[in-house]
Every structure is written in structure tokens, then in C-alpha cells.
Structure 1
């Protein structure tokens, strides 16, 4: 055991053996491995004070102080904070030259490394990785925390690690827009689409979040007091600001380039990426440079159905790791009555941004090759109206006359089921292709029929012999010189 490992009590017991039992210090030195001089010094301290505390190891007076001059310490730190960061060996060689030039003793390599290791980590990160890395690691973050349901919703987009078959038959990566309740972590609404995020997609997700759901297992609805989003152009659009103003929603944006404070919605995306997408064809694992593990098979409509099932039946109804409650249960537990729009039709006017002008015909409104009818339209035959619709459900449209809500018109053949406009368009395209194929087949059959010879002249008719031309006589040679015989 080393001398430093002996406590004051251990030293006192060792010295008592010498005082009480008469064991010589030389024998104690042999048994303990402590030099005789050290034991003699301890004995002198003990006899002078008579207390165990006098045998405590005294700290060094120069503890915490480096033996190298301050100017060399500053030089080491200055070299270490350069960008890119130099190695400790390089800094030691430079400091050795500087110390020799200034007449100082050359510090050892371990001393230089100790000085480098003692630099403030925040200072090193700021010097080597920049302000963004320092902010994301060391700056304090204010996390907005709601105290009740619908007090604050978060909205964001993400590009899914998945390939699907888009309407044109190409492999594409879809985007997901999600509306998340901050208090319960429940998903209130979403929008899945192909193409860049836009204000229209955000409006559709917000429309679904606010309106009551047909599925009783998805109770989240109503108007939030606050909508928190990033600083993207779709979230800062004038239309979304108008929607929030008209519905009395406070719109708050995070600072540009500062994602902190939105970790809850990022955690939801991580759940989707790790628990749902790996089970789907077309999933793109991390580190594969965008190549899916299996070929894409799902369409956008199929992915929409799968995502809704995962949100409603799994995510919203299992305990969350942060709250230890199921999101849907936590949202409904307080028994509050959500704030709803005074006129739901006004919400449709604000959020259903897809609009088209049509004229009311005697049999209703023709839109997307489909007939929509309503008894209210009887008084507006011949009038120009504006129709708005939800691309997710082409079974009905909202009709506005002079920007005032008029009625909801339904398509009789679609009213019994929910069908998207894209499905309707795909069905029409498929039918048109089938008809074109039938047309080509019938034309090819017609081309293969024998020629109609009813009016072709008969082959038994007497054909007059062709008139035989007279043999040609040799032409009289022409001479440039006129002679008497040919004159």
C-alpha cells in the first residue's frame, strides 16, 4: 500500500504499535513498506499535537497551479482553439520552440495535453464547430408546455423514408404533415401527399384536425388556442395567418434555423419511422443512399389508410413514454368541451382552398365529370357559383354564392361510400383506356376483313386488244451545213 493510501486513522494505528507494543520503526517500515524517515516524521507530528487530525495528509500549496508561465498557457489555448483543431503533438512542438525562444523551461507533452483538456468545452465547440453547434448543445432551451388539451397544437412536415407509386406510376417519396396536440401528444390531423409542402396541404391537415372525425376512436377535434410551427413559407403564408385570425388562433413560429422546442413532434416522426415504415414495401433504411430495401408497391391512397389505422388504433391508444397515458385518453380525461367554429361552413371556406367556378344546370352541378345535386340549387339554375371540395372525399362539394355558403351538394352514385377525387379520376382514366383498347381491337378486326369486291369489274369481260404502235423509223440526220440535197 502506498503512503498516499494511508488515512489518518491508519497512520495512528501504526504509530500506536510503536508506542504501546514497542515495535521498532524499522520493523514497521519493513511490514508496511513506508520509509523510516516518513514514520519518524509522522511520529514527530503525533507527539507534538497528540491528535489524529495532525496525521492528515496536507494538500500541496501549489495545488491547481501549473508550473509553466501564464504566457505559455495562453499560447497553448490559442493554438488549440484554431480551426481546424491542431493535434496535441503539433501544439507541443510549437510551444517547445516558443518556450526556448522566451527562455522558459520546455513543458512536457502531458502538461500541454492537460492545458488543452482544461479548456471550456463550450469554447472549444464554438471555435471548432461554430455558433449553430454551440447553440444546439449548450444554450438553454425554452420548451413550451401546455397545461390542458387544445391549448397548443404543433404543426410540421417531414419527408418519409419510403417510396410509393405516385398517380403517374413513378416511384416517389411522400410528405407527411401532422398536427399534434402538445398536452396529450395525440395526433389531431394529418395530410399525406406527393410534392413539395404547401399552404394548401397544411390547410387540409388543419381542417381534418378541427372537424369531428367519423371514427369514434379518434376524439381529438376543436379549435386550438395556439398553433406552433416552424418558419417555413407555407406556415408563414398570408392565407394561414388569415385562417388563424378568423378562428381566433394565435400563430407562433420558431426562430429561423432553430428547431429546439419542437422535439415532441420530432418524437412522433421517429415513432412513425421506426415502428411503421420498416414493415412497409418501399422502406428506405438509414445509410442506403435512398435505395429502398424492397420495391415500392403502395399507392398514396393505400398509405393514407395504413397511416390512419396506425394513428387511431395504435399511437393514440397506447401509453406515451413522457406522460404515461394514452394520448386519446389524456385528451379526453379532463372532460373539457372543445372550442368549435360558430359556423362550420366558414371553416370550409377558410381551409378548403381548392375552389372552382361552375354554373348551376337544371340537373345540378357538373364537376369533375360527376353530377352533384341539392334541393337548394333549384332556385339558382343558371347562376355562377363557386364549389369547394376536400380532395380526400369527392362524395360531396360545398357550394358558395357570392362568397356566402349556399349548400352541400352530393353525388348520388358516390354518397354511399367515401371516395377521393384522385380515385375518381383514376377510374375515369382506366375506363377511357379500356375503351381505347376496345377501339384498337375492333379496328384491327375490321382491317383483317376481306376486300369488298361487289363493284370490282369482272375478270371475264372482253378486253379490247391494245393498239400496237407503228415501228419507229430512223430519224433523218440533221446537218449543220445545208447542202443542196437537203435544201
Structure 2
């Protein structure tokens, strides 16, 4: 029984249900009394059938519960037998929530394939029940959490039909926590985890025998996939060093990490590099073009940043591919927007004809009201991909890969497919070139028009003429030539442009007033609008003339309304003039502001402030105060020493050291240090200062410490220092005293406090 909003039931089917009388005739009388929606029974026996929406709420709930049980019970022993194969277990795992599935791997796939006996029976039985649970929840229109309790109750009472032998393995009852634990194990460890750990030798290792140590080590590997054994060992000793827990040595930690990574290779790869896992291990059962048997049946759309830097900056390329023929088209746009997508649609339709179904990315540029309105107006079905699921539109993804790795790499201005390639390209420049050019960029020798020409020629002359694996060795040209069916085309290009035109405010809805239609501050009028005063209409811009708009009512064309004041100017001209005026205004303002700055001459304002303060200080006259000589034995001894020094003949004078000399020396030292010192060097210098007691620090060291320890640069590296210890910055283990559990950790707090008190 499949419950739908249009489900209909006979009186015999309703009799005895919750909220219903016990007899057929009583149900008929109740239906007449309450005026249930009914229709004649076209089947055997005649009579009436009643809509589920007319029934009492209690009866509707009972019908839905029965429907859910019926759907769950449709999983037969044949499906159970199919679940014994690894492919079926992978398919069952795919039922798991989509977002979790992105991080899930079938880590126990190899182990599951080799299971036998009771372990295999336990795994298969649990997999079947989990599949029934998913079917039960979907049919019952319930979330998994809400469905688990009802499902367990149905299993316990026997209402849930299961193949023979399942209850012998699982038992007569099953609890909700048990089902949740199975689902979690399937998501995180794979199907083999459902077999249990029966028969494994307990206490096989120090880490494995301690749940706390095992959880901690695995947690570190999951949180920081690239961590090494030395870091894990230090983490263990920092966390459990003061407890009675027996800790493994470094070699044991190394062996455990190697073994764990080998046993959980797919899971670990999914954590460390999700994209690599998708490319290597994600199941690709069946064919992505299954069911595609005609030209223009389905097009896939997507956008990607082009690997070419243009004269006006990095551009985006919007791609379209026809799945059946693999025919493809590229459109170069400044950004991927609804306007760019509409232009790509226009080019494809004019060249290929009208599509039947569009498979779109779920980005804002594709789900925009404008794009959806265009497809609706063209009668095109739209399917959106799930977020972060590029495999749902594999043909356009593969096409972009082919394009970016072909002769595109030979174009001037190519910047690399990824960070590593981009760094390699930058490194190929000489040291002198990189030294003389701060934040250097690759030479740019292409315009957007030149890149568009290249894309068109590549699609037509290279991609379309080479054999394609997905076409069984045929080329795109040959595949298109094989089509003998009809191709739907739009003969009026102007009509297509109007369909693709932008609508005011995105949706284009306007109310007709006595003055006409108000759009962007102007009134547009036409005689045909007189009969529609007070009505809501749809408005589209005319891209060729800003003084005209196209008006639709109930999806039917009404008229072209005009605004005489601005008639005869294209929207493109208006946009260009507006942009030029904006640039002129900004340039004028910048010039004026720079003139004000030059006139104000504020470059040396700091010294002017110091001079002003000095002048104010000189105006204050200090009255003389009485004084007496203060002498101590030490002072007297120092006086004697000074007199003795004065008696020594003077050597050739080098000249007095002035403040100018000191400032010049300071500037040279700072410039030299700033040039050579990296962020890690500054962090190590701060730690070296903290290793000293407070008193021996110089004023320069204290000033540096106050300025640096509250910076984001220091705080970020301090977090790494706390997690991984001194070795992360090539420091000796002596620096560990600065860690939170070290003897000198309080020095950082005192240094911060001294800075706050200044």
C-alpha cells in the first residue's frame, strides 16, 4: 500500500480501522453524514471510494502506519540474498544520510567480503534491518530518529516481516539504542563493523587494550591527518602522563599508527584528502548516461574559474554539454552570474536547438529567479545537483578536466591547475626577477575576446573531432551526424532574446496604474494597459532600448510599453556611460584628496607634534630650589675614580655619538632584521625571551614581547606550540617549560600583564 495525497479507499477497507465503525454499512452512513469526498469504484464490485484527505486524522495516521509496514515488509528474501554481495552492501551504505555519506567510506569492504559463518550472518541480518528501517521511515514520512521507536515496536510484535532466520540471529526484540549504534557503525566503520568483534584476541596491544588511549590516538589522527608518531607520543604523555595508565613507547605508537592506517586506508584517505577518495574509491556503479537515448535530452551546466589570467583579471568559464552527443560549449564571463548563464543558454540553443532537461549546479547563479524563469518559459525540466556533489553532473566535470589539461596549458598567462603547479610556475622565474617584483604576477597576454575565440575553436576543431571513450570511440561530430530524429529550434532569435531578458527586481512583477507602469523611476505607457489598470503583470527589459519594456499578463504577451523621455538608448550604452561617469567621478575625488594631502604636508606630522610639545615645555620656567650636597662613601669613591680618569691623557677623539647616529643605527638594524626574520623567527625570538627571567630582559626585549605576544601571528603559532611542542619550531625540549604544564608557563601571563599595565 503506497499512501499518496490522492489515495482512495473503499468502505470495506476502512471498516474496523482506528476512528472507523466496525461494519461496511456503518462506514457508508458515516461518509454520507460527514460529506466525505468520494468517487465511483472502477474495479470489481462497484460502490464508492473515499479520499484519504476526507477521513478523520486518527484513521489517516493508521493508514500511513500500515503503509509504512507494508513497504518495509516488501524487502524479500531475494533482496536479502542480494545483500550478501559486497556491491549490495555498498548500495545499502549509500542509503545513509547524504551529508554523512560524503565523509563515509566502506573501510571494512575487504574484510566484509571475506567474512563467513556467524560473523557474516550477523552482518547480513543487521544490514537488512537497517535497509528496512530506511524504507519504513521514507514510506511513513518520518525522520529516522522518530521512526526508530515505531520500527522497534513493530519488530517486537511481529508486524514487521523479516526473512527466515533473521530473528534467530538478532533476537525476538530490538531496542532503539541498538539500531542507532548499528547505523553509526555503518557510517563510520563500514559494513564489516556490523559483524562484531567476537573471537578477536583481547589485549593485543597497549593502545588497543585501553579504550581511553585508543580513542585519544584515533582522535588525533582524525583531527590532524598529517600528524606523525612523535607528536602523538607527546600528546599521550601530556594527557595521561600524570595518571596510572600504562603508556606505550614511541616505537609502539609508530606501529599502531601504521597498522591503523593500513586497516582504515579508505577512511583515512577520505579524512586526509576527500577529493582523492572520491576519485579513487567512490563507487561508480552503472552509467551516468543511462536512459539518455536522444540528442538534446539532457544538458549539464557548470562554471569553473579558468586557468588563464586575462588582461582584465581572472575570468570564469561557463560550460554546457549535451550528454547524448557529448557536444560542448564554453562561454567566457567576468563572473558566473545569472546574466552569464543566460548568455551561455542562448549560444547553446541557437547552435544546437532546445533542450529537454537541464542538470544544474546548485549555485546562486543557477538557482536564480531569472534562470529558472527562462527554463520555465522554454518548457525545460530542471534538476539541481545536491551541494558539494560534482559526481551528479559527471560529464561537464570531466569535460572541464579535459579542457584545462589540453592545449590551454600552452596559452600565455597560464597560472596552473592548483597551488602546487602555480608555485612551480612562479619558482621557474629567476631569483632576480622575483626579488625585484614584489607580489609578482604572470605576464598577461590574452583578452576575454581572445579567450572566447580560443574556446570556440578548441570545442569545434579539437574536442569535437577526437574519438571519445564515452561514445565508444566515435567523435562528437560523428555522434551528432548519427541522429536522425527531430531537433526543436527557436526560429525567432529576437523572441529568444526577450525570454532571456532581465526582469526588474529579478521577478518583474508590477501593478498597472492610471499612469502606466513604473519601472526604475520612469513611467511606461501603452494603449493596451488601459484595460489592465489594477492588475499585476510581468515586465521584461528590452536590452536594445531602455525606453521600452515588454509586458505579459497571465503568461500572454500584452504590449510593448514606452517611456518617451528615454526612448532610443540601449541599456548597454546606459551601463557604459554610467560606468565611465563613475570612474571619472572617483578619479576626480582621488585627485582632489591627494591634492589636499600634499597641501596639508602631513608626512612629518609626528615630528611636528614632538617639536610642539618641546616648545610648550620650554615656556615653563622652573624656580630654583634649595640644594645640599649628598655624599656617601660610594659616591666619594666614584668621585676619586673620575678624577683619576680625568688625569689620564686623552686619545684621538672619534667624535660624539649623537641621537641622529643612534636613530640611523636603529633603522639599519630594524631594516636588516625585518628583511631576514620570518614569522617563525619572531615566534622563536619571543620564546627565547620568555625563557629568561623577568629581570635580565632588556628594554628592547620587553618592548618586543609586549608588542608581539598579543598579535594574531604569535597566538596562532602558540596554539601549534601547545599542541605539538618545541619540535614544531625546531627548538630544544628545554622550551617545554613554557607549555601549560611546564614550570615557566606563568611567564607568558606576567608578560601580558606588564603590557596591560603600561
What TM-score does the superposition give when structure 1 sets the normalisation length? 0.50
| Structure (1/2) with the larger helix percentage | 2
Greater Cα radius of gyration, structure 1 or 2: 1
Q: More relative contact order in 1 or in 2 (CA 8 Å, sep 6+)? A: 1
What TM-score does the superposition give when structure 2 sets the normalisation length? 0.33
